[in-house]
Amino acid sequence: MAAHHPVVIVGSGYAGLQLARQFRRHAPATPLVIVCADDGADYPKPQLSHAVSKRQSAADLIRKSAKEVALELKALLLTGQQVNAIDPERQVIQLAERELPYRDLVLAVGAEAWVPPVSGDAVDAIITLNSLQHYQQYQEQLVNSQRILIVGSGLIGSELANDFLLAGKQITLCDPTDRLLFSLTPDFVSERLHSVLAQAGCKFAFNTTLASLDRQSDGLLATFSDGTSIVVDSVVCAAGLRPRIALAQVAGLNVNRGIVVDKQLATSASHIYALGDCAEIDGQLLPYLQPITLSAQALAKTLAGEQTLVQWPVMPVNVKTSSYPVQLAGEVRSDDLIWQLDEDDNGLTGQAFRHDALVGFVTSGQHITRSMALIKQLAEN
């Protein structure tokens, strides 16, 4: 009987919709149901890091409404629905008021924004921007805030700092490490991005964490673990994401940092798959658009009857700080790398070598145009 049931995708973010679109190319008539907790609108999530300076509202970011998505995909789109449980043996999911059977189930449930422990009476005022709904909730506040503290100086925190500075805000960036993009780029890239943001007015609080946040008459008093404090209008947390694994865990699926899947995106339970920010593939979390796109393409073929392994090419990572854009790929953080740097007024190219072989690169500024040739060279090694 399960063979006649629909393919069910839980989640209508980039991963879920990309899979649905790819699946429809291979299986135009197979019943398809998409279950989502929000309103199901299609929007470019990476643009949330740039919306304030571009003066975009949440409505401006919507590409298609849920109704338009459903028509495009010839799918049943169940919006505002929370999946309460999965029964892998019976092949059903439990919604609030009914059960929904599936032929195959795909968990594309994404990740939660992580907020580190903070004390004080204004903890509830900490903003996260992990969805269009978050941005819609806080967009007016962000527009009206002049003094903003950003917690986290990784990729998203750096992009937000760049965007808010372009919008004329006074920005302080806080992080427990000693520099920007600590886990992503070599230190010489961090130093140059730091210099650009500092020239734009950004202040930095490194080697410390936000310890408490309290309301006072002139704003929010943010106190750091090193004892210093500042008064701000808003606090935005970009300290990282945590894959949503609770639903899979309760259902008995193997989980680690994310939902554990193999190269076919299959979980430990038959007919259940996972992809996107919630999935852990070969021990890796890959919360970037290219690996999610490749995962969706492979899984769509598998669901359509052609068993397909996901294959990873050289996958660059983009740091979309428009004042000093950065692109990198391969190994760039190992201590044994030998760097060859080429820098001028237009940007920087860094090539990482091990035993005379190119194993990674980083480009910045206008030098990003060199990335394609370096990607090709990496792929040939």
Decide if pLDDT at 13 tops 80. yes
User: Which residues fall within 8 angstroms of residue 38, CB to CB, at 6 or more apart?
Assistant: 12, 79, 80, 131, 132, 133
pLDDT of 142-162, one tens digit each?
A: 999 999 999 999 999 999 999
Decide if pLDDT at 1 tops 70. no
pLDDT of 321-335, one tens digit each?
A: 999 999 999 999 999
CB 243 within 8 A of CB 278: yes
CA dihedral 259, 127, 321, 181 (to 10 degrees): -60
Q: Looking at the DSSP assignment, which residues form a beta bridge with residue 8?
A: 33, 105
pLDDT of 236-280, one tens digit each?
A: 999 999 999 999 999 999 999 999 999 999 999 999 999 999 999
| 185 φ, ψ (degrees, to nearest 5) | -120, 160
Q: How many angstroms separate the CA atoms of 121 and 118, rounded?
A: 10
Query: In which residue are the tokens 């049931």 written?
Result: 5
Record the tokens describing residue 247, joined without a space: 């639903």
